[in-house]
Structure 1
Amino acid sequence: MVASSAWGGSRQKSLNYRSLVWARVFQGVALAPFESLVNDVVGDLYFVHERGFRMAFTNVCLFGAAFLTPVCVGFIASDDSLGWQWSFYFLSIFMGAGFVLLFLFLPETAYQRPRYLQIDFNVGPVPFHDPVPVPAKQSFLHRLAPFSGRKTDESFLKLLFRPFPLFLQPAVAWGCLMQGVIIGWTVIVGVILALIFLGPPLFFTVKDAGKMYTAAFIGSILGLVLAGIYTELVTRFLILRNGGQYEPEFRIALVIPTLLFSVIGLYGFGIAASEIDQYGWIVIEVFLACITISMVMGATASAQYLLDAHRDISIETFTCLIIFKNLFSFVLAYYAYQWVLERGFKRMFVTFGCIEVGICLLSVPMYVFGKRNREFFYRHDILKLARLR
């Protein structure tokens, strides 16, 4: 990330569009593992009842905080002494500092426990075994080692290709649609937002257009708070109704407010953007905040469920989510301007809203049959994945 970001902002005369594209490709390769690993770390560090707010906070950091970037870039790009290149340079500088912090203060969180202690992995009760001695605490220098041994007995090739057949697993397919699609809507909004504010009738400057992303960031913070409160309250209520027993499917209940805010945000944004001279920029900002609230909630619901329901393959499931999300977002961003010109804002976002309603409704069978899916997955070792030893 440090090298590719510096490459992307290079002022050399030989820099051209192709060079910038390849710099962005290497940025994507460098950053993609972070998106899957940071979610899995939440599962490594916290018990099930502690993950709700922390998972919501993680998704705000991953996706919501990204909306604060255009605000900063607007100021950078409009400054004659800096220019857009410094958006890459600053990224390289911060990633360099982040690397030092990561190296010194983030130890390995994965730990290979005995089978009977894997409480997240078990569908049924596991017989008790004799206690295993607690290993000695590692020294600081030992924790700095970039490699501390394998954390699984699975073969390398199996781990390498495991994410691809997982797309056929119902829970993973649901998670990809739930998270990838709602994030895709925010991506296409980010692509066309400048088109709305820079053109007629508002004619905002680049700096002012950048400020309009503040509403999305505020929406992500509201989504964090609402998702954390809703998840904890509803999960506790469902546990009480279930005789004190927790089920991962309880996390899916967060889809209810996700559906509410996404419908309000997508439908409202399309209508307001198509008649901006009538509604003005403030109304658009409110609906944009609603879209990002639903994005945080939807991403949190899918991530929490997959982490709790399929803890042993959580890295692979998050890899599937990233692959789907990136491909879907790329398609949306690639055709965004063409769709706006052909269909207009209203028709396009009403269509998006209807698609989102359909995807959210898929949560009903996922909630009803999720436990059966988990039991079948573990008992029959579906597609030869994740055999428990």
Structure 2
Amino acid sequence: MVAITGVLKTIFLSVNAQLAEAYEVSYTSVAALTGVPLILSAVTAFASLVASRVWGKRPLYLASLLLVFIGTVWNTNVATSYSQCMSARIFQGFGWGAFDALVLGSIQDTYFEHERGLRIAIYSIVAVTTTWGPPLIGGVASQTGSGFSLQFTILSSFFVVAVPAITLGAPETVFDRAYTLAQTPATGASKFKASLPIAPRRLFSLEAFNNYIVTMKPYSYSSASDTTTLLQAPRAFIAPTTVLLLLVSLLPYCTLWGLSSSLSLFFFPMPFESSPANIGTLMTGPWLLSTGVVATFAFFSWWHTHFTPKLHVAAVAGGSLLAFIGVLTFGLHIDASMTQPEDDNTSVFALRYLGAKVNFPAMSFVLGLLAAGTYVLDATVRPLIRASTNFTSSNMGIALRNTADMSAGVSCWRAVFAGILVIATPNDVWSWDGLRSLCIGVAIAQMVIAALVASVWWLWGEDIRRWDGRIMRLVDLEMLKRTGSFFDTD
């Protein structure tokens, strides 16, 4: 499902101009087909984090799967109705939010420390690859007689595997390991006592499968909610580390989404008249470079185990520099290529001459530099959040829980602002001068923000972690009330 939701996020990037013509609406309205689901997915992700504390993750996965399925199938037959297309996208946005916010927590719940690295690396690579890679194929598929609907038709076929896999195979991952171990024979009877011995491995049998189907429930538990439980995720969203990580990565991330969603606006009209397939190829750079950066940091275990303030400042500087070069070069090159000489008349021939000066492979590469810088900055999220939660948490379980909440907080805030910028960017870049001004402003602002945020972390890094602990109340007082020793289970 992570792959399916990734494809859905960027499925319209190469066909926005064609949609504007088919639906007879403005380009801004078509850009909203990407921006609105991004914003709604952040709302759903936040709600899912809160709800998972009460009902667990499994019912949320099932409900989200249903929403994404309805929205995707609906989008296969909305070629003439903008309102129906937007409604289908709203279903998709509400659906993919839970998968954005909860999957990292499920991995941390399910696997031990030495097992998580590979799983999180695979998850990260799949997420970024399926987000920025599909426009290359989607542009080609959209040039058929079925138009953009063919993309959704193809994607709907994957639900043949996804629906039974999620319905039957997604276990409930939320449980309190510390509490399980504390319930020992010395402390009284426990429902976990019988589950402590390792069960023998059994081969698949029809009887076991029938028993599994009969006993399977859409939910695993329903716990009583209190203010402390419901406020865990909101506190993580406003923790100082979460806010600083958001600030330093916000402009590159949002600009990447805004420019990518406006590619059809730039290159579909005269003098370019690029097809959806050609526009899709512009995403080659972002796809390759972002995947390469994510894979490098994901499998570079030393980065996570030996993360220091010097490495952090170097990553912020390097990521910001890549983003600066990428966004500035993108705007300046297009503006310079499309600026008409004073002695030329405004004519079709002059425009075609100017359009031929734009280097499309170079544009793909510099857009890839922006994506690479964005994900270099993103590579600092996990190490910094992990350092913060390990510094203030009373046990590993609480640290993992709040690590997932703070990581989801960064993602949710970025999704909200990215959705807003996706909708707003077309209004700012109708002219090449507007594109030039936007890129210059973003490039300069990013370097200033990066310098300020890096300085704050360098000078007051430990104080920031202490404020995280105060705001999030990471010390779990309930653990102090529990009796029993870990050694009683030996």
TM-score after normalising by structure 2:
0.63
Q: Does residue 1:101 correspond to 2:165, yes or no?
A: yes
Q: C-alpha separation between the residues in 2 aligned to 1:136 and 1:387?
A: 28
Alignment partner of 2:281 out of 208, 211, 222: 211
Partner of 2:173, secondary structure, is: coil
Choose 342-351 or 31-40, whichever is displaced more. 342-351
Q: C-alpha separation between the residues in 2 aligned to 1:158 and 1:206?
A: 50
Alignment partner of 1:309 out of 388, 394, 412: 388
How many matched pairs? 361
Q: Partner residue of 1:270? A: 331
Partner of 1:114, secondary structure, is: helix
Measured at CA, do residues 267 and 116 of structure 1 come closer, stay the same or move farther in structure 2, by a change above 3 Å? farther
Measured at CA, do residues 145 and 78 of structure 1 come closer, stay the same or move farther in structure 2, by a change above 3 Å? same
Alignment partner of 1:283 out of 356, 362, 365: 362
Alignment partner of 2:437 out of 329, 333, 347: 347
Q: Does residue 1:90 correspond to 2:170, yes or no?
A: no
Measured at CA, do residues 255 and 357 of structure 1 come closer, stay the same or move farther in structure 2, by a change above 3 Å? same
Q: Partner residue of 1:124? A: none
Residue type of the alignment partner of 1:108: E
Q: Quote the offset at 1:146 in angstroms.
A: 3.4
Q: C-alpha separation between the residues in 2 aligned to 1:257 and 1:54?
A: 27
Residue type of the alignment partner of 1:374: R
Query: Mapping of 1:33-112 within 5 angstroms?
Result: 33-45=98-110, 55=120, 57-80=122-145, 82-112=146-176
1:55·1:303 contact (CA, 8 Å) conserved in 2? Answer: no
1:65·1:220 contact (CA, 8 Å) conserved in 2? Answer: no
Q: Partner residue of 2:74? A: 7
Choose 90-99 or 343-352, whichever is displaced more. 90-99
Query: Mapping of 1:350-365 within 5 angstroms?
Result: 350-361=440-451, 362-365=453-456
Q: C-alpha separation between the residues in 2 aligned to 1:365 and 1:221?
A: 30
Q: Quote the offset at 1:62 in angstroms.
A: 2.4
Residue type of the alignment partner of 1:62: A
Alignment partner of 1:149 out of 202, 213, 221: 221
Q: Quote the offset at 1:205 in angstroms.
A: 1.7
Measured at CA, do residues 77 and 235 of structure 1 come closer, stay the same or move farther in structure 2, by a change above 3 Å? closer
TM-score after normalising by structure 1:
0.78
Q: C-alpha separation between the residues in 1 aligned to 2:198 and 2:85?
A: 46
Q: Quote the offset at 1:363 in angstroms.
A: 3.4
Residue type of the alignment partner of 2:104: N
Q: C-alpha separation between the residues in 2 aligned to 1:116 and 1:253?
A: 42
2:132·2:283 contact (CA, 8 Å) conserved in 1? Answer: yes
Residue type of the alignment partner of 2:82: Y
2:381·2:407 contact (CA, 8 Å) conserved in 1? Answer: no
Residue type of the alignment partner of 1:270: G
Measured at CA, do residues 367 and 2 of structure 1 come closer, stay the same or move farther in structure 2, by a change above 3 Å? farther
Q: C-alpha separation between the residues in 1 aligned to 2:314 and 2:293?
A: 15
Q: Percent identity?
A: 18
Residue type of the alignment partner of 1:272: H
2:385·2:406 contact (CA, 8 Å) conserved in 1? Answer: yes
Q: C-alpha separation between the residues in 2 aligned to 1:64 and 1:324?
A: 21
Alignment partner of 1:255 out of 316, 320, 327: 316
1:71·1:214 contact (CA, 8 Å) conserved in 2? Answer: yes
2:335·2:436 contact (CA, 8 Å) conserved in 1? Answer: yes
The structure whose Rg is larger is 2
Choose 291-300 or 328-337, whichever is displaced more. 291-300
Measured at CA, do residues 11 and 193 of structure 1 come closer, stay the same or move farther in structure 2, by a change above 3 Å? closer
1:183·1:329 contact (CA, 8 Å) conserved in 2? Answer: yes
2:105·2:401 contact (CA, 8 Å) conserved in 1? Answer: no
Measured at CA, do residues 71 and 238 of structure 1 come closer, stay the same or move farther in structure 2, by a change above 3 Å? closer
Q: Partner residue of 1:18? A: 83
Deviations 1:224-266 (A, max 9, x none): 244346x644555557xxxxxxx9x976763343223212212
Q: Partner residue of 1:220? A: 290
Q: Partner residue of 1:366? A: 457
Residue type of the alignment partner of 1:227: F
RMSD after superposition = 3.6
